[in-house]
A and B are shown apart, each in its own frame.
Chain A
Amino acid sequence: MRISRYLLYIVILIFLLTLPIYTGVYLLNVIDIILIYIALALSWDMLLRSGQISFGIAGLFGVGGYAAVLFHLKLGISPLISILMGGLAAAVLAWLVGMAVLQLRGMYFAIVTLALAEIFRVIIRNLPDLTGGPEGTVLSSAIFAGSSTRTYWLVLAGAIVSIIASEFFRRTRIHFAITSIRNDEIVARSSGIDVFKYLVFIFVITSAIQGMTGGAYAHIYGFVSPEGSFSVDFTLLPIAMALLGGMHLTWGPVLGAVLLGAVSELLKLYIPYGHLLVYGVIIVITILFFPQGILGTLGQRLKKTDTG
């Protein structure tokens, strides 16, 4: 049983690695975007499992992007390492913010994270010598000299790292800690769980993923700008994806990212900018009719037939 499962994983991995052979460049670019959204949606969901709602994805994504570009440009650090530095910058930022506001949690935390993107957008816009100001900064070349295959491998690696991190969160004692915290903090504290420590840890890890993703995105397009890098899309779409696919699961946000990512590409072709409207409708339908998301609802159905 176990061996056949590993075999399946290996076959899937080989298929994913060799995907550029079967697909054209356009499709590969669409897949890149989906993989980026998988990392964002999953990392958002990982924090949600502890009951904390973050609206700061775009902020950490943008900070990671700017950090990656600036480390590369100003200090001559290689693109790949500078992407990691982007993750580190987001992690440090999350640590500082977390230490300050995670004592309050809940609504207060959500509001502060909402302000993150706005604050950094303004700061970056007003530091033209360092950041290029409102016009942003353009790199002389994209990462891997624009090779679509290697770019795909990079974002695939990012998505796989996120999936592994998410499964790690679901299978270790972290799962028990954050599920307890989400349910009832007083029970968690009375059971010996250091609630604050866990929340800061999870916020830092998920922010590092978002920062690295932002760094990769910036190097792929060779460009950062206050409006583009901190776009509200990077906050709203991952949340919509996780809700649609199913919260608190690894494969829920992945499924949501694949579905909404593909739909949004189609919609961009037929109704430019109309895709946001469709997103809104999808979110409303999800929340009204299947708040557990696709996988969550399927899981419940299966359980019911199991019992009845």
Chain B
Amino acid sequence: MVVLKTENLSRYFGGLMALNRVSMEFRKDEILGIIGPNGAGKTTFINVVAGIYLPTEGKIFFNGRQISDLPAHKRCRLGIGRTFQLVRPLQGLSLLENVMVGALFGNGLRQREARKKAEEWCEFLELSDITRDITRMTALEVKKMEIAHALAAEPKLLFLDEVMAGLNSDETKEMIDLVRKIHSRGIVIGIVEHVMRVIRELTDRVVVLDWGEIIAQGPYEEVSNDPKVIAAYLGEEA
């Protein structure tokens, strides 16, 4: 079953084609990797699907429903969640309150219920001392908080945008286990990542973007040996 499908999705910024006719499918129970060199359009793809940018052309279907014109907040409520490449914690709110925002607005809960939900997700992600100020958190904790924030909205599809960046190898291992744990709750995951070990260990399928276009897709082993992919990462021979 297909959860999210994009059809010839394009997004231009002026003359720059950030996404060019990208057709992708996210299937139920799947972890899909999205890889590609810097500037390939990975984050733009997430932004267009999440509704931060409207597509220039093309359509997006979520559970069979056309959502290309819906604003971002409605897409979140439908079940499209995402984290951010650069962490964006909400200053002035505690760790728990940051997570609550997802439950309050993405999930439409009242404050008391949202607090309970947020506590559950913090526990799920092994975050402790949750009433603390967010200025006193490690990089790993902030990343976990952002994932909890996204999960509190109860997404059916979750995009993780470079959640491993800046983590050491122990932390990366911990994060890989967490992603598996999230996936085991029945949440479809789209993961953008530069750390190939993570993609190899986690994903069922990989889509490779370059200059806004899909240049290859398939299982990691297959894709990583594709000459086009190698050329995109290493540069073509003259």
Contact = CB atoms under 8 A, between A and B. Distances in A.
Interface stretch (A4-12, A70-78, A170-178): A170-178
A179 B153 contact: no
B214 interface: no
Contact of A189 (B73, B97, B111): B73
Interface string B85-108: 000101111000100111011111
Interface string B187-220: 0000000000000000000000000000000000
Given A176-B104, A180-B101, A195-B73, A190 B90 contact: no
A55 B106 CA distance: 33
Contacts of A177: 104-105
Contact of B133 (A179, A180, A186, A303): A303
A219 interface: no
Given A172-B111, A179-B92, A184-B88, A191 B133 contact: no
Contact of A176 (B50, B51, B81, B101): B101
A187 interface: yes
A192 B153 contact: yes
Interface in A209-267: 248
Contact of A190 (B72, B110, B111, B136): B72
B76 A191 contact: yes
B84 A193 contact: no
B133 to A, nearest CB: 7
Contacts of A135: none
A43 B102 CA distance: 27
B141 to A, nearest CB: 16
Given A176-B101, A176-B104, A187-B84, A192 B90 contact: no
Nearest to A179: B92
Contact of A191 (B52, B91, B153): B153
Nearest to B106: A192
B104 A184 contact: no
A183 B105 contact: no
Contacts of B101: 176, 180, 188, 191, 193
Interface residues of A, number: 22
B190 to A, nearest CB: 14
Nearest to A181: B90
A183 B91 contact: yes
Given A176-B97, A176-B105, A194-B73, A189 B88 contact: no
Nearest to B153: A192
B74 to A, nearest CB: 8
Given A183-B91, A183-B92, A193 B73 contact: yes
Contact of B100 (A176, A188, A192, A194): A176
Which of A172, A182, A183, A248 has the most chain B CB atoms closer than 10 A to its own CB? A183
A192 B90 CA distance: 15
Nearest to A193: B105
Nearest to B105: A192
Contacts of B90: 179-180, 183-184, 187
Which of B100, B104, B136, B150 has the most chain A CB atoms closer than 10 A to its own CB? B104
Nearest to A187: B88
Interface string B60-86: 000000000001111011000110100
A303 to B, nearest CB: 7
Contacts of A184: 88, 90
Which of A183, A191, A303 has the most chain B CB atoms closer than 10 A to its own CB? A191
Contacts of B76: 189-192
A216 to B, nearest CB: 32
Contacts of B117: none
Nearest to A248: B92
A190 B82 contact: yes
Contacts of B5: none
Given A187-B88, A194-B73, 16 more contacts: A176-B93, A176-B97, A179-B93, A180-B90, A180-B93, A183-B90, A183-B92, A186-B52, A186-B72, A186-B84, A186-B88, A190-B50, A190-B150, A192-B107, A194-B71, A248-B92
10 contacts: A173-B110, A173-B111, A182-B92, A187-B90, A189-B73, A191-B102, A191-B149, A192-B74, A193-B73, A193-B105
**Interchain residue pairs A-B with the least CB separation, the first 4:** A192-B106, A192-B105, A189-B72, A192-B76
